[in-house]
Amino acid sequence: MELTTTIVYSLSGLSILLLTGKYLRVKIGFFQRIFLPSSVIAGLLGLIFMQYMSNSGSSEIIGSMKNVWSKSPGFLINIVFATLFLGKRIPNLGTIWDRGGVQVVYGQIVGWGQYVIGLGLVLALLVPLFNVNPMMGALIEIGFEGGHGTAGGLADTFDELGWSEGKDLALGAATIGVFFGVLIGMVLINIATRRGKTQVLQDPKTIPPDILEGIPDKEKRESAGILTTSVDSIEPLTFHLAIVGLAIFIGFIMLQGLIAFENAVMIPMGLPKIMASFPLFPLAMLGGVLIQVLFDKYDKRDILDHGMMQRLQGFALDFLIVSALATISLSVIWDNIIPFSALMVAGVGWNVLCVIYLAPRLFWDAVFERSIADFGQSMGVTATGLVLLRVVDPKSETVALEAFGYKQLIHEPFLGGGLFTGAALPLIVSYGPLSILLFATSMVLLWVIFFRIFFYKKRLQHLNAG
């Protein structure tokens, strides 16, 4: 089949699925009440379509579409991560720590705890009983904290490490994370509201219909971005996309340099090979940070707009989710249904426990608002956390949104698709799951100590003053 024909069918297919998903979000009340993203609905429709076509005998067109869709997430995830910090001034560490430090502590404990729960369960039960691949212990953090983007972006890493089934399980975990993130999140919001634990929201039933449908009324609509360049010189969207491309290229150069250094220095020393299977997207994010630092220093006209970067990020993430979900192998999940289900239940249980038990012992203000935002992120993606936070604090009257935003600046480079998320799989293969379990446990303990040193007295002072 001609390349042009393949691209047309592939792009058109994804577009039709997205538009259908949006239509169903507007028309079906259940999807609205659980705030299920249109891209997830579209991806599940695509999965049903692909399964039907596979069972009825795939044509050349369907085979070509599936091939393109399966490879798309690995590229699109680079756009998602490259845009994370582009267009917004990066504050100094003192400001971040002062305004979002305790939120960083909470997020890090939740994230590293997902490795502890996952690897602990795999080593204690799932390997002895079901002989699963030890890399399964990383699926909670990859699928829940990382989301569909990270799960899809690690597809090549799973292949290179000899466990291709892992990419389907990771995408399955991400789907469960998003679905139960919003579902359980809304249950927690209703319980917290009835018990008087929310500072702003009094009744979740008061959420306006336009917010549920995802089509804000005209007077509520916001600008998609600011035109920072004149269109007769260069289209603003083109300029921002070119900056994203540069960030990805910088990340690519970093990766090639690390691979060369590993081959020249580390491997001759007898250390295991890791960088060859390390994904590009965490380094694309660092490329974006480097560009933003340079623009902060030298650009006096604020030519980069974060709103425009968010639109590029959203575009890439929507198409990524649809293409990734539509190409999941259900047979792989079914073949591992018992250990996979046990892992998912344990992951959900850990995240809920953090909201109920951990958050009240760390935070001193806007406790539920802070924790529900992190719950959404730790179950799905940042957007899920923001959706749940918008439900309980629609006008950002608490400190939760600001703290959550500052926390991302320290949290994202390491977990939820950051450097350690990208390195976790090759590290498990090279050093064994027990070593990574002990490391993750030590990180949880380290952040608990951080809280005790930097925030425990501050929390007591606020509680006593209140």
pLDDT, tens only, 421-437: 888 999 999 899 999 99
Q: Is residue 52's pLDDT more than 90?
A: no
Mean pLDDT of 290-306: 90
Q: At what angle do helices 306-326 and 60-82 cross, to 10 degrees?
A: 150
Residue pair 244/312 in contact (Cβ under 8 Å)? The answer is yes
Predicted local distance difference test score (pLDDT) of residue 285: 83
SS3 category, 363: coil
Please work out, in degrees rounded to the nearest 5, the angle formed at the alpha carbon of residue 55 by the alpha carbons of 53 and 60: 45
- Which residues have C-beta within 8 Å of that of residue 276, sequence separation ≥ 6? 160, 259, 262
SS3 category, 297: helix
The torsion angles phi and psi of 101, rounded to 5 degrees, stand at -60, -50
Distance between CA atoms of residues 84 and 413, nearest Å: 10
Query: What's the token pair of residue 371?
Result: 């924790």
Mean pLDDT of 203-225: 69
Distance between CA atoms of residues 273 and 134, nearest Å: 18
Q: What is the value of pTM for the model shown?
A: 0.81
Q: Read off the pLDDT of residues 66-98 as tens digits, 9 standing for 90 and up.
A: 888 888 877 887 898 788 789 888 777 777 777
Distance between CA atoms of residues 461 and 450, nearest Å: 17
Higher pLDDT, 355 or 326: 355
Give the dihedral sign, CA 86/87/89/94. negative
E-strand spans in 175-289? Answer: none
Q: Read off the pLDDT of residues 241-257 as tens digits, 9 standing for 90 and up.
A: 999 999 999 999 998 99
Higher pLDDT, 261 or 445: 445
Distance between CA atoms of residues 253 and 149, nearest Å: 22
Q: Read off the pLDDT of residues 215-228 as tens digits, 9 standing for 90 and up.
A: 777 777 777 778 88
Mean pLDDT of 442-459: 91
Q: Where are the domains of the chain?
A: 3-201+234-465
Report the percentage of the chain scoring pLDDT > 70: 92
SS3 category, 221: coil
Predicted local distance difference test score (pLDDT) of residue 137: 94
Q: Is residue 204's pLDDT more than 70?
A: no
